[in-house]
Amino acid sequence: MTEQLQPSETVATGAKLTVEEDAAGVAAGRRLMNLFLATGLALVFVLMLVGLLMRLSQAEWLPLDPAWFYSLMTLHGAGMIAALVLCGMGGVWYLVRREAHMDVRLGYAAYGLLLGGVLLVLAATVVGKFAAGWTTLYPLPFVNPTWPFWSTGAFFIGLMLITAGFSVWSFQVLEAVMRAFGGLRGALGFDLVFNAKAFKASGRQPPPAQILPAAVIAIDGLIMATASMLLGAAMLVRWLDPSVGIDPLWAKNLGYFFGHLLANYIIYMLLAFVYVGLPRFTNRKWKTNAPFVIGWWGTMVFLLTAYAHHLYLDFAQPVAMQVLGHVASYLSAIPVAVVTVYGAILLVWRSGMRWTLGSLFMYVGLAGWILGGVGALLDATVQFNTLLHNTLWVPGHFHSYLLGGSLYFALGWVFQSLEERTTATTSRSVKWLVGVTVFGGTALFVAAFYVAGAAGVPRRFALAQDPSASLAGVGSVGAVVLIAGLVLCLVEGLRLWRSGRTAPVRAAVAPLLAGVTNVGEVQGD
């Protein structure tokens, strides 16, 4: 059960801190999270406009030169992943900081590395017109490039900086949760499963729910970063010395290992917001019990192994790897459906939940995650993959869970934070309007991808032919409606923020704002 511990008990430090010192540290952590979130969400919004440009071009409403289309495509892919990773990293950093002392300077260092990486990617694609796609399959960046030499290096160094920032974050988060919860054994809740009776008798409490994604992503993150840096170094050597050869299949495996994991980390990191946020709306607790921790152990393994489904059509790959990718992809659905989403449903069911923009985004985000997951499972079935691979089905499923899932989790957290700082509420009509525009726009945008994918329309095509162009038009309309809805969210968010700055803060949430308390202590309205 996610019993909330007192900060003085949980904050494990090298040097003992007073409660006041720790409160200041948590408040600093909150400011760091806000910086991560603000940067990430601003990038998401700008890159959404870039994505809209691409769909408008495919609809033949605003044709782009292919050189521009493909460099913007490269920017959109790498940038969106980095932007959402920023949101997740900031959120988890703060939620872990509430439980254990962490040096905020390291958090800023991770942020700086990521931002530096994003700026290099931006320079490589927008200025240098680097256009090898964000997954950059070797040897494409080096064969007949139409972009300058420097932009290839800038792109890879940019991705390596992003990985370096993620590594710093992973080391710090892992060290903090291990220190605070009794090593890996405690942070991953082993005793809850293997020594359940003794654990209960000892009176010890399991880690809060949000610590599991933090620990799992930090562990897997370090494995991913190792592989990614290895590939990055190989690419840089090849960039500097054209006589060096790299095995294309080896590079492809590492490239998809990196890309698949980073994209999935986004979902699981931002899930921590839901573990903390949803209980506040339902006045119930998210429990850390044996099925919950077992589910996260499974996720830790399946995340690392499911990437192989990206190489189903490489028949030169050992068949055992194809089977592994298939099985791991299917198994990864179980913790999602049985533990997290089902757990959320139990939390909401007949709870008298408060329906605000914050809770709406989190709740609908869970549905978006499931719908994207169903699309992914179908694509992860080898028989279907031969017909769906590299069609628009693929952006269909990952937009479902990144846009309609992960981004909603982040927006839900932002609105929850704003709502807790003010007595002002969002009107029913605004909530409906946001629902229709944001959720409706997303559904239309994503459905156009799925239908086109089933019709065999290739992804990553600068020009379109029927039915692709007309479906791209439908998708563009959905994207415009969605963006209009997000602008409405921005206006409403600013209204709540301004109201929170002037209105008296509710007594019930005052301790939270000071950053010295945990979720369970401020439940209820």
Partner 1 sequence: MDLQGRVLLTLFVVSAAVVAIFVLIAVRSRGPALSQEAVQGPGYAVRRWWFFLLVAVLTLAFGASLPFYPYSRAQAEGDTVEFTVIAQQFSFSNLPQEVPLNTPVVFNVTSSDVTHGFAIYDPADRLVGQVQAMPEYDNQLRVTFTERGRYTVRCLEYCGLAHHLMEGGFEVR
Residue 436 binds to partner 1 (criterion: CB under 8 A): no
In the complex, the smallest distance separating the C-beta of residue 424 from partner 1, rounded to whole angstroms, is 22
In the complex, the smallest distance separating the C-beta of residue 335 from partner 1, rounded to whole angstroms, is 10
**Closer to partner 1 at the Cβ: 183 or 352?**
352
In the complex, the smallest distance separating the C-beta of residue 391 from partner 1, rounded to whole angstroms, is 7
**Closer to partner 1 at the Cβ: 11 or 80?**
80
Residue 282 binds to partner 1 (criterion: CB under 8 A): yes
Sites for partner 1 among residues 305-364 (CB under 8 A): 313-316, 319, 322, 326-327, 330-331, 333-334, 337-338, 342, 345-353, 355, 363-364
**Closer to partner 1 at the Cβ: 137 or 494?**
137
* 467-475 own/partner pairs: CB under 8 Å, 24+ apart: 468/58, 468/392, 469/58, 469/59, 469/60, 470/59, 471/392, 472/55, 472/56, 472/58, 472/59, 472/60, 472/448, 473/59, 473/61, 474/444, 474/447, 474/448, 475/55, 475/59, 475/444, 475/445, 475/448, 475/449
In the complex, the smallest distance separating the C-beta of residue 252 from partner 1, rounded to whole angstroms, is 7
CA 482, distance to chain mean position in Å, is 19
Burial of residue 443 (number of CB atoms within 10 Å: 0-12, 13-18, 19+) = middle
Residue 226 binds to partner 1 (criterion: CB under 8 A): no
Sites for partner 1 among residues 462-501 (CB under 8 A): 462-463
Sites for partner 1 among residues 117-136 (CB under 8 A): 131, 133
Cα 81 to Cα 226: distance, rounded to the nearest angstrom: 18
Whole-angstrom CA distances from 184 to 191, 272, 287 are: 11, 18, 19
Residue 42 binds to partner 1 (criterion: CB under 8 A): no
Beta bridge partners of 391: 458
Residue 366 binds to partner 1 (criterion: CB under 8 A): yes
Residue 62 binds to partner 1 (criterion: CB under 8 A): no
What is the amino acid identity at position 473? G
For residue 319, how many other CB atoms are within 10 A of its CB?
A: 8
**Closer to partner 1 at the Cβ: 176 or 519?**
519
Residue 139 binds to partner 1 (criterion: CB under 8 A): yes
Residue 238 binds to partner 1 (criterion: CB under 8 A): no
| Near partner 1 by CB under 8 A: residue from 63, 116, 291, 511 | 291
**Closer to partner 1 at the Cβ: 138 or 181?**
138
Cα 252 to Cα 221: distance, rounded to the nearest angstrom: 19
In the complex, the smallest distance separating the C-beta of residue 61 from partner 1, rounded to whole angstroms, is 17
Structural tokens at position 348? 């909401």
Residues 6+ apart with CB under 8 A from 377: 329, 330, 333
Sites for partner 1 among residues 379-418 (CB under 8 A): 381-384, 386-391
| Near partner 1 by CB under 8 A: residue from 180, 209, 450, 486 | 450
**Closer to partner 1 at the Cβ: 179 or 310?**
310
Whole-angstrom CA distances from 20 to 7, 24, 34, 375 are: 11, 6, 21, 49
Structural tokens at position 317? 């790959």
